[in-house]
C-alpha cells in the first residue's frame, strides 16, 4: 500500500480562464470593470506608512472592517463574519452548518463550487431542478411537501450562472418551511439591482446571508467576503474558523476593505453604471435573436437558437473576447457574458453581429 492510498482526493472547482495575452476583452469571471473606490488608494498609502505593523498579527476579529460593514448595513457587528473572499466564508459555512448527515439541497444549475465543497467534506447533497423559466420552485425545498428531510439549503440570489433573482416572498417561504435547517442565501450579485434578504435575518434565526467584495466593490484581487445573520450563527462560524486559523484576515484586507465600504457614493455610482450597461446590452442581444433569462446580476446568460454555444464561444475567442462557456449538457448552449464598460460591450455587440450576421 502506497502513501497515495491515504490521500484525500476530490475533483476541484474549475475557475474561469485567466488569459495572459494582451488586448483581451476579459468578460468571463464577473469582475468589476471599474477600479476600487478612491479611498482604497488612500488606504494603500496609509498602509505604506504603517508597514512596521506588518510584523504584528492582525486583529483576529477584523473589528475595523466589521464595524464599517455594521455601519453600512445597519446591523450590530456581532452579527457579521468576515473571511478571505466569499468562497472562504461559504466553505466554512458548509463545514459548520451542514454536518447532520442528511442531504443538503441546492439548485441543479448553480454555482459549481457547491458540489465540490460537499464532496470535500463528505456531505450528501441533492440538486433540485430549476423551473422552465430557470427559477427556483420553493415547494421543492419544503420537507412537509416533499417528504424528504434535509441537512441544510444553499442557493445564490441572483442565481449563477443564470442571473435570475428570486423574490423575498420565495426566500421567506423556503426559510419558514425549514426551521430545523440553516438556509444560506449567497448574494454575490445582489448589488446589481437585486433586493437583499438581510431584513429576514431579523425574523428567522436559521437564515444566513453571504456577500463579497469581488463584484460590486471591485476588489476580487484582495479576497474579502462576509456573512450576516443572528449572533448565534456568527458565533458558530467563528468557533470553526478559530479552530484552525485565527488570523485569516490580513492587515491590508482589513484596511482596504474598510475604505471600500465607507465610500457609499462610489459604490452606488459604479453599480448603477453596470446596471445601465447591462440593460442596454440585453436590448442589443434581443435584436440579434438571443434568448436569456432576465439577469439581475453583472452578467447575462445568453443563447442563440441558430448557433451553438461552443461555436459562439470559439468565434468570440478568435476576436480576443473571452466569455464563460460550460460543456455541461443542461447549459452547453449558453454563454455567460460579464458586463464590462460601455466600450467593451459595444465591442461584444459588434463581434456578435459579425458572427451571427444579425442586427
218-275 pLDDT, tens digit per residue, is 999 999 999 999 999 999 999 999 998 888 899 999 999 999 999 999 999 999 999 9
Q: What is the pLDDT of residue 51?
A: 87
3-state class (DSSP) for residue 185 = strand
Percent of the chain surpassing pLDDT 70: 100
**Residue pair 28/16 in contact by the 8 Å Cβ criterion:** yes
Average pLDDT (193-199) is 97
Distances (CA, A) of 82 to 63, 189, 301: 10, 17, 30
- The per-residue b/e assignment along 121-156, b for 16 or more CB within 10 angstroms, e otherwise, is eebebebbebeeebbbebebbbeeeeeeebbbbbbb
pTM of the predicted structure, to 2 decimals: 0.95
Interval 264-301: pLDDT, tens:
999 999 999 999 999 999 999 999 999 999 999 999 99
CA distance 252 to 72: 20
Tally the residues of the chain: 359
Residues forming a β-bridge with 308: none
What is the rounded distance in angstroms from the CA atom of residue 12 to the CA atom of residue 116? 6
Fold of 17-36+265-356: 3.90.1150
DSSP string, 287-331: HTT-B-----SSEEEEBBTTB-HHHHHHHHHHTTEE-EE---TTT
Please state the three-class secondary structure of 15-50 as a single string: CCCCCCCCCCEECCCCCCCCCCCHHHHHHHHHHHHC
CA distance 163 to 142: 23
Reported CATH class of domain 38-262? alpha beta
Tell me, what's the pLDDT at 358? Answer: 82
Alpha-carbon distances, residue 286 vs 193, 303, 347 (angstroms) = 20, 10, 16
Answer yes or no: is pLDDT of 1 > 80: no
Where does CATH 3.90.1150.10 sit in the chain?
17-36+265-356
Strand order in the sheet with 153-156: 80-83, 225-228, 207-212, 183-186, 153-156, 104-107, 125-128
The residue assigned the cell 488586448 is 23
C-alpha cell at 253: 484586507
Predicted pLDDT at 169: 98
Report pLDDT for 8. 83
CA-to-CA dists, residue 48 to 57, 103, 138, 251, 263, angstroms: 17, 48, 50, 12, 21
Residue ranges of the chain assigned to CATH 3.40.640.10: 38-262
* Diameter of the chain measured on Cα atoms: 63
d(CA 209, CA 339): 24
Model confidence at 69, in pLDDT bands (50, 70, 90)? very high
Per the CB < 8 A criterion, the answer to whether 315 and 323 are in contact is no
Amino acid at each position: 500500500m502506497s502513501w497515495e492510498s491515504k490521500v484525500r482526493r476530490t475533483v476541484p472547482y474549475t475557475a474561469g480562464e485567466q488569459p495572459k495575452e494582451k488586448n483581451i476583452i476579459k468578460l468571463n469571471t464577473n469582475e468589476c470593470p471599474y477600479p476600487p473606490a478612491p479611498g482604497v488608494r488612500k488606504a494603500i498609502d496609509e498602509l505604506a506608512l504603517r508597514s512596521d505593523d506588518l510584523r504584528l498579527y492582525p486583529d483576529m476579529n477584523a473589528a475595523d472592517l466589521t464595524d464599517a460593514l455594521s455601519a453600512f448595513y445597519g446591523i450590530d457587528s456581532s452579527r457579521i463574519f468576515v473571511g478571505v473572499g466569499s468562497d472562504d466564508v461559504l466553505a466554512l459555512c458548509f463545514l459548520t452548518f451542514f454536518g447532520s448527515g442528511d442531504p443538503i439541497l441546492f439548485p441543479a444549475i448553480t454555482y459549481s463550487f457547491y458540489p465540490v465543497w460537499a464532496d470535500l467534506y463528505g456531505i450528501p447533497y441533492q440538486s433540485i431542478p430549476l423551473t422552465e423559466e430557470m427559477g427556483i420552485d420553493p415547494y421543492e425545498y419544503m420537507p412537509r411537501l416533499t417528504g424528504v428531510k434535509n441537512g441544510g439549503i444553499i442557493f445564490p440570489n441572483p442565481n449563477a450562472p443564470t442571473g435570475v433573482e428570486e423574490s423575498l416572498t420565495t426566500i421567506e417561504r423556503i426559510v419558514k418551511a425549514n426551521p430545523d435547517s440553516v438556509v444560506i442565501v449567497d448574494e454575490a450579485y445582489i448589488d446589481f439591482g437585486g433586493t437583499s434578504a438581510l431584513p429576514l435575518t431579523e425574523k428567522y434565526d436559521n437564515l444566513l446571508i453571504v456577500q463579497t467584495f469581488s463584484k460590486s466593490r471591485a476588489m476580487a484581487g484582495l479576497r474579502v467576503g462576509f456573512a450576516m445573520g443572528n449572533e448565534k450563527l456568527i458565533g458558530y462560524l467563528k468557533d470553526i474558523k478559530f479552530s484552525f486559523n485565527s488570523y485569516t484576515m490580513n492587515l491590508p484586507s482589513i484596511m482596504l476593505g474598510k475604505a471600500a465600504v465607507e465610500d457609499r457614493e462610489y459604490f452606488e455610482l459604479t453599480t448603477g453604471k453596470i446596471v445601465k450597461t447591462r440593460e442596454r446590452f440585453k436590448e442589443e442581444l434581443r435584436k440579434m435573436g438571443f434568448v436569456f433569462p432576465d439577469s439581475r446580476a453583472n452578467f447575462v446568460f445568453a443563447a442563440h437558437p441558430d448557433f451553438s454555444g461552443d461555436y459562439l464561444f470559439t468565434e468570440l475567442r478568435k476576436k480576443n473576447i473571452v466569455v464563460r462557456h460550460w460543456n455541461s449538457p443542461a447549459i452547453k448552449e449558453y454563454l455567460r457574458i460579464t458586463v464590462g464598460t460601455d466600450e467593451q460591450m459595444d465591442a461584444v455587440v459588434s463581434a456578435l453581429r459579425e458572427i451571427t450576421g444579425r442586427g
